[in-house]
Structure 1
């Protein structure tokens, strides 16, 4: 599979480009970015050309790996799908439901494969854990805590300069990670209630289709000493916790790209495809409405 990279920022440089260059079965073909000089530099670091013309890159590849802000990703993903390219998308797919719908519709119309890269959903220990808990069933409730410290004094996060994260906060940055694990285990969400916490913190309560409930605590502004993540399920089989993440995002991206290859070869949609990405956006948008209006919102 010939694959191109869209994006030249920190996420593209640190994660996407190195993985594309070393992934077996992929031919890293080139890099496109909104700054041609950055595309040339990142491409040169991995022995591939930088493209100033996006259409030329799309014509030269079978797939694209997108490492762009969600404000940019949706339009370019539609453009890539219409060019016949399979899509490795970042989360969230978009920041509005109509934009996410456009991506999902383009994927369906063009019959291309798509995978949304939720790092935890593609974690080595996490994949079998999620599958096992989903198969067991009988869960009464779930809890997911994502306390990040991206925007606090002393933070060394490379993403502290991210405009969209600063504007949209934890709900849209780490909320997708929590949902990517809870939804396949507890079932689709039917209702969400959101309450604002300190700074960008937000607390969600979800009702799931099978009757279970879940709570999410999300923040990018937790004190450095209070940061951390965790997920717990309680039900007929007792109490279980999501395994700790012991690897970096590169290993997870290798698996996500492998999933894209398999979906492209088989024609079978992956569970984390653009339609799932759309559903996550719909739930996050409903949470935003709950914050603005107060009370539960149906999704």
Structure 2
């Protein structure tokens, strides 16, 4: 599979060596639009990795898969352009910074012969094992989910190329809720199979200021947020996202998911890394599962997507899943601005 990096702004510096390590994948180059505000990033990526810097139309005509790595506010536009060119598309997270853009992306995917998916962590060994346990019925019916996604700093350039790519709403679409809320929203949907009906959220940022001493305050965006979700069938969930000065685990991002069921619960801890299950009889079984969650999930995401293309399979994360996750984050941002007023996630209005 020939992969084109479409706008090498965010995460591409990590994706290129990972892609090169996978059999059957060739990174053919990096391309961006002529009016890109970060054209120099794509040029720098090409120079440092040794891949060609291409014209975007030329690159799209030559690739099998377009991997969109721009600043988040251009994700949907570039992904739509690649889909309209008939390419298969992987778009970096979040797939869109609002439901209108997510709807356009969904519509383009419905019209395109290419497959669409987005960067996610559902292939992490811990989440994958938790999903199998839930599906097996070992904990009964899922009744509640609790998720945490915490970043250890990283705005010094160690994990985020420049702070404004996370903190400037014109580029990022928001703060850490927009940046990280995508992950727990997708995971909760993946583990329960249920739509979110109502969101209540509280976040730092304007007008109260950030929790920690960082650049979020200058842009008036949250560095921490808590979501309370009401799902169908009376199921509830919470999600906490934050960027903290010191990490709580060994990796740049610490994450855990707990699913409380009618007959037990399962805890997927990506830091340990382990999965623990406790049944109604009180017996607890904990096993070490997998290695680095983020890297393992990314490797499998790209290899599975290539197989999705080869065998005509539906990707694990579809345009409908992307829209649902974006709608939850959008509702969370609206609720936080209204000091916790409940907000219903926007429903898709168009069909193709």
> Which secondary structure does the structure 2 equivalent of 1:182 belong to?
helix
TM alignment of 1:1-299, pairs within 5 A: 1-9=1-9, 11-13=11-13, 15-33=14-32, 34=36, 38-43=41-46, 45-51=48-54, 53-118=55-120, 120-136=121-137, 137-150=140-153, 157-159=158-160, 161-167=162-168, 168-186=174-192, 187-197=194-204, 199=211, 200=222, 201-220=224-243, 222-224=244-246, 228-245=254-271, 246-247=291-292, 249-293=294-338, 294-299=340-345
For normalisation by structure 2, the TM-score amounts to 0.76
Aligned length: 293
CA distance 1:265–1:41, shift in 2 (3 Å):
same
Q: Deviations over 1:276-296 (max 9, x none)?
A: 111111111111221223421
Paired residue secondary structure (2:125): coil
The superposition leaves residues 72-112 of structure 1 with CA deviations (integer Å, 9 ceiling, x where unpaired) of 11111111001111011111111111111111111110131
- TM (norm. structure 1) is 0.88
The whole-number CA distance in structure 1 between the counterparts of 2:269 and 2:314 is 26
In terms of fraction of residues, the more helix-rich structure is 1
User: 1:109 & 1:71 partners in 2: Cα distance?
Assistant: 22
**8 Å CA contact 1:70, 1:91 repeated in 2:** yes
- Closer, same or farther: CA 113–102 of 1 in aligned 2, 3 Å: same
Change over 3 Å in CA distance of 1:213–1:18 after alignment to 2: same
Q: Which runs of no fewer than 5 residues in structure 2 stay unpaired?
A: 169-173, 205-209, 212-221, 272-290, 346-352
Per-residue CA distance 1:136-165 (angstroms, 9 max, x = gap):
35122111122324378xx66431723241
**1:298 is paired with a residue of what secondary structure?**
coil
Q: Secondary structure at the match of 1:210?
A: helix
Q: Is the 8 A contact 2:10 2:70 kept in 1?
A: no
* Cα root mean square deviation, aligned: 2.4
Q: Which runs of 5+ in 1 are unaligned?
A: none
